[in-house]
Structures are given as C-alpha cells and as structure tokens.
Structure 1
Amino acid sequence: MEKYFPKFRQDMTIKEIGEEANRYIESKWKSLYESMHADLTAAFAEIEDAAYGLYLDQLMPTVFEQLESAGFSAMVKLEENDFVIAKRLVFRNSLEKWGTEDHRSRIFWNVIRDRQDDPVGTLLTEIPHSHLKFDIPSAPMVFVLSEFLKEKIVQGVRGIKESQRI
C-alpha cells in the first residue's frame, strides 16, 4: 500500500485543511496503532495516559509539518509550564470531558494562521482512548471551526461533542 502524505496549499480553507488531515489520519492510524500496540501497552502500565502522547508523537507531526511547509502556522506561544505532544498539541489547549473510562475523548485545538498571521480557523484533533488499558477504540479525527478565539473554540468543541451524543 502506498503511503499517503497530506498535501496542503496556502489557498485552502479550514474545511479543506481538515478534510486533507483526515485523509492522512485514516490512511495511517490503524497500521501505526497495530505496529506500536505491544510497546504502548507496556508503556501504559508505567506511564498511563502519556502512552497516547507517544502514539500521537508518531501520527500527527506530519500533518503540522506539511501545513507549515505550505505557509501556515499551527503553534501558540508557549508558556513556561506547557506540555506539548506531537510537536504542536498543547495540553492547555485541550478538553477531556466525554465518554466512559474505556472510551474517553480528548480534543486538542490549534488555531491555523496563514502567511500574513491571519487566522483561517481552528483544527480540532480528537483522540479517543481508554483509561483502563492502552486502547484507541476508534480512529483519531480532525474537526474544524471557523472560530479562533478560545471562548468560541471551547463552545464549538462542546457543540461537536453534544451533537455526537444524539
């Protein structure tokens, strides 16, 4: 199977960026999960949820690197105590409030900016996971919002998760 590589262009909308990111994730997440499962199961026994960060460290950097190659930026100014995984996912820009212990959902957000530093929207990266054992019960997924202010992003994330319960 040929490896899929995300292709971004500066004229893409946030919706197109999200669609391209999801094509890449869909092509890669399961084989990566299977290849790392034994090691990450062992890691989970020692470091618990941080094992999911090790997985995302392998899955997501390509998306952000390709976005940046196309002239976008996805990183916020880091603060002293920030914890970052996958090169661009900052824990203070995430929420985890949904699901059961064996199927939780954490969503990270990255405001995407163009070459002129104008926001084009927000990329939301959802990682489904278990707190009981190392398990990713369904594909990670990217959602998008046209919003770029934190308060509106948090409202948008909650709206997405509430609509999934219906």
Structure 2
Amino acid sequence: MDKQLPVIENGMPIEEIGEAGNRYIAAVWEELYEERYDQLVKAFQEIEDAAYGLYLDQLMPPLFERLEQAGFHALGPVKENDFVIGKCLKFSDSLEKWGTEDNRTRLFWNVIRNERHEAIGTLITAIPHSHLNFDIPRAPQLYTFKQTEREQIVEGIGQIMRESGGA
C-alpha cells in the first residue's frame, strides 16, 4: 500500500494535528480496508471485535510515529492490565455506547503532550464498526479539543456523538 504519511511538525497546535491525521486517514483507510478485508473477515469470525484492533494496528501507527518524530507524546502511562492497539490506543481510554449493533462507534482518546510534556489538547479517534459482521462503514475520524482532563474528555465525546447523530 502506498502510504501518504501525515505531515506533523514540532509546535503544531492540536487542531492542525487532527487535520493532518484526518488527511492521512482519508488517503489510506479504504485501500487498507480492501487489501486486508478477507483476512479481517476471517479474523472477525474467530475473535469478533478484536479484528478491528488488527485493522487499527495497521492504520494508526504511522500517525503516532510521526507525532513522536515531531517531539509529541501520545501514550500516557500504561498499567499492567491496559490493552493497547494501533500503537497508542488504550481501551481504558475509550468509550463505546453509541449506535446500533451493526453501526457502532468506539472513541479512543489520547492527551497529546509536547516535548516538555505539557498537555496541548486531546486527540479523539472514532472507529465506526459493526458487531454483527466485519464492516467499517465509513472512514475512521479524528476530533480534537483543548480539554485534557478525563471528565471533560468524556463530556466532549458525548457532545461529538450527539452532534454526529450518535452513530
């Protein structure tokens, strides 16, 4: 797959990071989905929702690697029982309570820190998916906001889902 890597530079504000990430996802998500589709359908039959983690393990690392190269930190402390996919997406920092069984959305969040470890904002990764069969009905999407405290992040995610119609 010809990857169009996101352009991320030191000092970028969180909004520009989100825009660069969305350009990257728009450029590669569908081709990756089609290339891996048969393999992911088989995986879904065996491991169900974990198949989406296999997809995100391919899609998201280039974004997080570019963030690291630019001096940003996306992964906070990882506890022993944390489950991490896509290089930096922790299930303990995610929510999934919107949509129907065939059109759900899980939202992961990463507090992004600069080279001085100062929080600059939160990057939200939304992955639409089905629980009935392997299906990603539309491109994953990134959202950003300045809030970095868990309670504010959860509130912001709720607002994102209300504004998007909840799926």
The normalised TM-score by structure 2 is: 0.97
Contact 2:73 2:114 in 1 (8 A): yes
SS at match of 2:112: strand
- Equivalent residue, structure 2, for 1:118: 118
- Equivalent residue, structure 2, for 1:135: 135
Instruction: Give, in whole Å, the separation in 2 of the partners of 1:81 and 1:111.
Output: 19
SS at match of 1:42: helix
Instruction: Give, in whole Å, the separation in 2 of the partners of 1:92 and 1:119.
Output: 19
Instruction: Give, in whole Å, the separation in 2 of the partners of 1:5 and 1:65.
Output: 10
SS at match of 1:104: strand
> CA shift at 1:2, angstroms?
5.9
% of aligned pairs identical?
A: 55
- Equivalent residue, structure 2, for 1:58: 58
**Aligned runs of 1:8-157 on 2, under 5 Å?**
8-157=8-157
Alignment RMSD (CA, Å)? 1.2
Instruction: Give, in whole Å, the separation in 2 of the partners of 1:125 and 1:3.
Output: 19
Instruction: Give, in whole Å, the separation in 1 of the partners of 2:15 and 2:78.
Output: 26
> CA shift at 1:3, angstroms?
3.5
- Equivalent residue, structure 2, for 1:163: 163
Contact 2:11 2:114 in 1 (8 A): no
> CA shift at 1:108, angstroms?
0.1
Contact 2:82 2:90 in 1 (8 A): yes
> CA shift at 1:70, angstroms?
0.1
Runs of 4+ that moved beyond 6 A: none
Contiguous gaps of at least 5 residues in structure 2: none
How many residues end up aligned between the 2 structures? 166
> CA shift at 1:165, angstroms?
1.6
